[in-house]
Amino acid sequence: MTKQALYLLWISGGLISVFLLAIVLTWVYGHFMAQRLAHMNRKLNALFSSFKSSTHEEEEEEAVARIADFVGRSRRKKEQLIGIIIAQGENFIVSDAERLGRLYEHTGIRTYLIRQLASKRDYIQALGCRHLGDLAIRSAEKNIHALMDSSNNDVIYHALLALAKLGNPQSLAHVLVENSKRISLSFRAVVEILTVFKGSKEELFINTIELSDDYLKGILIKAAADYEFESLSSYYIRYLDSDSKNLRIASIRALGQLKDPAFEVYLIEMLRDQEWEVRAAAAKSLDKTGTSKSFEALEKMAGDREWWVRHNAAASLVTIPGGKEYAERILESEDQFAREAIIGVMERSV
């Protein structure tokens, strides 16, 4: 073996040894950190259990002091404590909000999360919003509002979710209305925001719909339909005359969801709309609100030039009580489109 080959062998052996040592050290460090985190978590859980079970003011103050002393300025311990509190569930956080507020103040959690909102990193801002909402820290509402000027959609979305969890309908309505032209909210995003909203959803809709632009109006009305708020019916009726096709369709579907024959006349009128999508929506919504007064109009729509209008009209007609018998007359008419629509629906309903 030449001297050069021997040097290469030593170098290779050294590199392999260093690589193996790095693997061992990484594993040891990871194991040590896991053990340390597990110990910290057990300690924090025990301290929090003492706080949770405290029944007297002095006992609570002592428990809070012990937690604050253990947490200190440690970011990691604050994050662990936040996770422990969130894991207790929404009911506990809401019912013990006053006690938890004192804990947030003494442990520095409130200040820590508000500082996250001022971070230069978007994901830290979004995480801060999420935790402030989950912990129901209402005193941070103004700080969350300030993030609506962010250029990052993820930050704005989490800020809206946080405001929804805080449950102030006027505040959330103001943010949605003021920023509707600047931020792009999908129907899915609005539904998620409404789902986590802790205040009166009906009040939120009332405070928001009228002041919104047509795009947001359509999304809000579409989302409101599932809640069947009769107090919103006047808005639905008003926007049947909107220049926005999507807003007319959303209003029609929302009226249909109310399942009240009192709104039948408005839906019948919308069967005359120039847009076939609007006529199709009106025809379908009559299956929930229609009565025998709708038979003649639905018979006419069963012969519409658009397939979806014909199909929806025929389906609604045979669904309304007494409609199937009325539909049998159409089978003897000269309108081929109407006959085919009725036959198709009846065959599928057998």
- What would the pLDDT profile of 167-216 be if each residue is shown by its tens digit? 999 889 988 888 777 777 788 888 898 889 988 999 999 999 988 889 88
- pLDDT at residue number 34: 66
- pLDDT at residue number 65: 94
Tokens 């069963």 correspond to 302
Closest CA to 135 of 174, 96, 170, 172: 96
- pLDDT at residue number 190: 85
Beta-carbon contacts of 206 under 8 Å, excluding residues fewer than 6 positions away, are 231, 232
Tell whether the model's pLDDT for residue 332 goes beyond 70: yes
| Burial environment of residue 214 by CB neighbours within 10 A (0 to 12, 13 to 18, 19 or more) | middle
Structure confidence at residue 80 as a pLDDT band (50, 70, 90) = very high
CA–CA separation, 257 and 161 (whole Å): 26
Tell whether the model's pLDDT for residue 6 goes beyond 70: no
- pLDDT at residue number 83: 94
214-232 pLDDT, tens digit per residue, is 988 999 999 999 999 999 9
Q: Kindly list the distances between the CA atom of residue 131 and the CA atoms of 166, 191, 195, 243, 257, in Å, as whole numbers in the listed order.
A: 11, 20, 17, 41, 35
- pLDDT at residue number 186: 80
Question: Among 13-27, 81-95, 127-141, 220-234, which stretch is predicted with the lowest mean pLDDT?
Answer: 13-27
- pLDDT at residue number 158: 94
Is the model more confident about 312 or about 2? 312
| Burial environment of residue 4 by CB neighbours within 10 A (0 to 12, 13 to 18, 19 or more) | exposed
Q: Which two tokens stand for residue 89?
A: 């569930």
Closest CA to 249 of 272, 226, 279: 279
